[in-house]
Structure 1
Amino acid sequence: MDYLKESADRYIRQNLNKGSKDYKPRYHFSAQVGWINDPNGLVYYDGYFHIFYQYYPYGLEWGPMHWGHARSKNLVDFEYLPVALAPDAPDESGCFSGGAVIDKEKNLLHLLYTRHYERENVIRQTQYHAYSSDGVRFTKTERAAIGEELLPEGFTSCSFRDPNPVVIGDTYYVVVGAQTKERAGAVLVYSSRDMSEFKYEFTIENENFGEMVECPDLFRLNGEMVLTFSVVALKNQDLTNIDGKASLYAVMNVDFEKKAYEFLHIDSLDEGTDFYAPQTLEDGNGRRIMLAWLDMWNNNSFSKNNRLVSNGVYTLPRDLVLENGRLLQYPIREVKDIFRNRFTVAEGGEMSKTAYIEAEMNGGSLFTFGCGDDYISLKIENGRFTLEQRQKNHITAVRKGKYRSDTFHVEIFTDRCSLEVFVDNRDVFSAQVFIECERYKIMRSEKIKILRAASV
């Protein structure tokens, strides 16, 4: 099959109304049809938030990766745009993840992505470049931006992916996830003056990089450098991980001229069961906003087996703040503004599957909702917030927060197929929810003070 952008757009148009939309989110981003995973190329350009995404429009499972594309004024309501990239080159089995950056002088939007080649047991990954003058139609360059010849000694081109550019001073720097031949994860740093010619600068290494770093994102926040990334085969059990996969952040000192770095703090980004491949952007007001794939590899069997119109959803956009060297996450105000239909939380009552609840919880607090034997339970145990989920269509798990307190301010968001809980904006829990009912029943509500309950 030839994978062309025009063919993908035509398929999307022809299949918009095929498949069930029972679990289609109301206010989280998802594709029109097909499969999505990593968010790519998040950028604020010409008055719009642009979201690109790893995309296989032709089915509900991962396939040859395209870059889907949408834009928004508020990160709640989206306009779907033509597919930005397709694996249409002879040596391209997929257009893997990457990032975006703006050339402000020329008003060009640049995309960097991984050209993945995989045939006859040969795997090769190199970094390529595409650009646009209108933010909609993209042209690929013919030669690699960062090819195999720019790999430092000891690294393999089989696992060399997810380039993400950032402007520091008058230089474009690019961070790329990589793996050594001894199977150790690393981040490689490259630079360019013009987004045309690149050179290798230095390697960032850490014991918490596992066997592979994916989707690195480097940015400045409140005067500090922050690196977000996902990890494969993480061995540190003190950092939240699911079968060795984790998404983390590091507060760092980085001296690009001296090619030196120092890790000040590393921690988990999310305590839930479904969170991977985070990426950020800076909006026109200086906010640093993060999105991630609200899923985890090998956790998505329900969607692909139940003829849904699409498979994959992103987290709520989160406003990031660095306070005393620790990352705080807030749901952006644009999301909270959409909840207008207030309801009463009472045991034995019901709640919408697209709800927002703001509450205070302390020792002995318990809030449980669901249907039949499937439920989600939020509680405080030994000064820690605990999320318990029991779902026959997904997974059974108990997740505990790291942050301890006597009283917690909690914000709960449900959106048909997802749950996100913000606990004092320090611990955040993300989970997929596939509970078969039109509305959730409130099973238990004890020692919880409801400040606001609304739906959309």
Structure 2
Amino acid sequence: MSVLPADPHLPVAHLRPPRNWINDPNGLAFHDGHYHVCFQYNPYGPEHAHMHWGHFRSPDLIDWEELPVALTPTPGGEDADGCFSGNAVSHGDRLIAFYSAYRTDRWAQPVTTAESRDDGVTWTPRGSLLIPDLPDGATMYRDPYVWREAGRWRMLVGAALADGRAAALLYESDDLERWEYRGPFLAGAPRTVAPDGDTGLGWECPQYLHANGRGALLVGAWDPELGPRRTVAFPGREQDGRFLADTPALLDHGPDFYAPALLSAPDGRWLLWGWAWEARDPEWVREAGWSGLLTFPREVTLAEDGSVRQRPAAELLALRDERAVTATGETSGTAVLGTVGPSFDLTARLEPRTATSATGLRLVTSADGTEYLDIRIDPEAGELVVDRDHSSLDPRAHGGTFRVPCPEAKAAAGAPVELRLVVDRSVAELYLPSGQTLTLRFYPVGGTPWRIEARSGGGGSLRYTVGAWNLRPYTMRHATGTPAESAPSDVGLVRP
């Protein structure tokens, strides 16, 4: 069984090693009865450097095993400065990883492979590049995504083009060895998707969600000066090897979500993991000795309007422990609903009788009530507002308010607002019935049982039904053979 960590912010129900840096989920595949989840990993410290692939596997998304590191840079090889992002496919008795080989040029990262024939325990690198040359006009190139469709293998690679457009480039193959370049699957100039962001000058980590003739292209919006920004979903459909995109939208409305990866499960579901990065100053990260985590696995589907809908994977209900809160009532001020531990799963139905901007839920994490996370209903904008400005008494934690569309919140709609909030120590994932999500990090230091309150101000009142369950840790078996956690003699370059 897992042991609760001493660090009060280290999650107990989200995947990550007990220390050091992680970022993008990679190599997602179902093979020989196991879900395989790899990830960008620095085994030597909590900084973005020395990129390897860490590796977990599970038969059921609940009981996990940490396998030896899957991919390690080869001194003097094509990936000498890092094994960067990509994916994996199950093919016969082989797991084949496709990834970005980083050697000297941080913008151009050609595709190479490694394979495993023992269910991911050991891997053999290719030792050469699978696709050695960048297409004409590509100024940034990285992060292959391979899948099988209509009897052929297909690959997307993220890119930036010399003409100022971002692109996902398409390749096809009959045998996973000889790949033919088909041109841009989708390319476009930056387009606004949020008040604080656009679709980027380049695209990282392209993923293709598709079913019944419809699809959504998921990309990380990237800027050469600012680095990774937000994840964007382009709904649309494919025609003659090109993706005809409709209006893009944010995949997740939170500030701390990036580089999601898809897995096609054997039961027909699409599962998705994302990277939740840190929202605290680097000094605190170094003191803690770890950085980043993977979100909960999410079931993703395409709605009739082409939008991507997300919800926690059904298996995660098994992580619910005792029910900590059961509350139904109405308040025109503040109602204390009960207390929970720092990892919990909450469902709520909120019915403002008179909608005001002070209506919602508060998670109080200090005895004196000065440290809290707010979720408020904005009846004018038709949004839920998540406010973390007071969520940590440590000034090194980042604040901010963030919004997720919620048409039911409009005063004129008169509909109840339903939500599910899953919190695991320093990460919060908010899910709405519409499939909209918001992911953020926060770092309470109050150290008391966390108190859930329903609140209504400004002369309004709120009817509520709230249930909350404490979360038990997932189980994790740790394999031997991971590298020592001492600094290597050579220092690799860092990809922004």
Aligned to 1:59: 45
Aligned to 1:138: 123
Residue 82 of structure 1: how far off its partner (Å): 0.6
Residues 162-173 of structure 1 mapped to structure 2, 5 A cutoff: 162-173=143-154
1:221 aligns with 2:206: no
SS of the aligned residue for 1:347 comes to: strand
Alignment partners' CA distance in 1, 2:338 and 2:208: 46
Which residue of 421, 428, 450 maps to 2:430? 421
Aligned to 1:31: 17
Aligned to 2:402: 399
Residue 31 of structure 1: how far off its partner (Å): 1.5
CA contact (8 A) 2:281 2:396 kept: no
1:366 aligns with 2:339: no
Q: RMSD of the TM alignment (CA)?
A: 2.5
CA contact (8 A) 2:216 2:308 kept: no
Alignment partners' CA distance in 2, 1:34 and 1:131: 25
SS of the aligned residue for 1:64 comes to: coil
CA contact (8 A) 1:27 1:77 kept: no
1:230 aligns with 2:208: no
CA contact (8 A) 2:277 2:291 kept: no
1:453 aligns with 2:464: no
Structure-2 change in CA distance of 1:339 and 1:303 (3 Å): farther
Which runs of no fewer than 5 residues in structure 1 stay unpaired?
A: 1-15, 235-241
SS of the aligned residue for 1:343 comes to: strand
1:50 aligns with 2:36: yes
Which runs of no fewer than 5 residues in structure 2 stay unpaired?
A: 192-198, 328-334, 409-414, 456-461, 472-496
Residue 75 of structure 1: how far off its partner (Å): 2.0
TM-score by length of 1: 0.86
Counterpart of 1:51, as a letter, is: V
1:206 aligns with 2:203: no
Alignment partners' CA distance in 2, 1:399 and 1:302: 25
1:289-309 CA-to-partner distances (Å, cap 9, x unmatched) read: 11000126x75636523234x
SS of the aligned residue for 1:117 comes to: coil
Structure-2 change in CA distance of 1:431 and 1:440 (3 Å): farther
Residue 219 of structure 1: how far off its partner (Å): 3.2
1:80 aligns with 2:66: yes
SS of the aligned residue for 2:397 comes to: coil
SS of the aligned residue for 2:13 comes to: coil
Counterpart of 1:295, as a letter, is: W
Alignment partners' CA distance in 2, 1:451 and 1:445: 9
Residues 91-102 of structure 1 mapped to structure 2, 5 A cutoff: 91=77, 92-102=80-90
Aligned to 1:263: 245
Which residue of 131, 134, 137 maps to 1:154? 137
SS of the aligned residue for 2:50 comes to: coil
Residue 79 of structure 1: how far off its partner (Å): 0.4
Alignment partners' CA distance in 2, 1:222 and 1:375: 44
Alignment partners' CA distance in 2, 1:201 and 1:178: 14
Residue 220 of structure 1: how far off its partner (Å): 1.8
CA contact (8 A) 2:24 2:260 kept: yes
1:191-235 CA-to-partner distances (Å, cap 9, x unmatched) read: 11111111211112023442110110113235422211110249x
Alignment partners' CA distance in 1, 2:297 and 2:319: 14
Residues 174-185 of structure 1 mapped to structure 2, 5 A cutoff: 174-185=155-166
Aligned to 2:412: none
Residue 180 of structure 1: how far off its partner (Å): 1.7
Aligned to 1:11: none
Alignment partners' CA distance in 2, 1:63 and 1:124: 17
TM-score by length of 2: 0.79
Aligned to 2:274: 292
Counterpart of 2:451, as a letter, is: I
Residue 123 of structure 1: how far off its partner (Å): 5.8
Residue 429 of structure 1: how far off its partner (Å): 1.1
Aligned to 2:100: 114
1:187 aligns with 2:190: no
Identity %: 25
Aligned to 1:253: 237
SS of the aligned residue for 1:63 comes to: coil
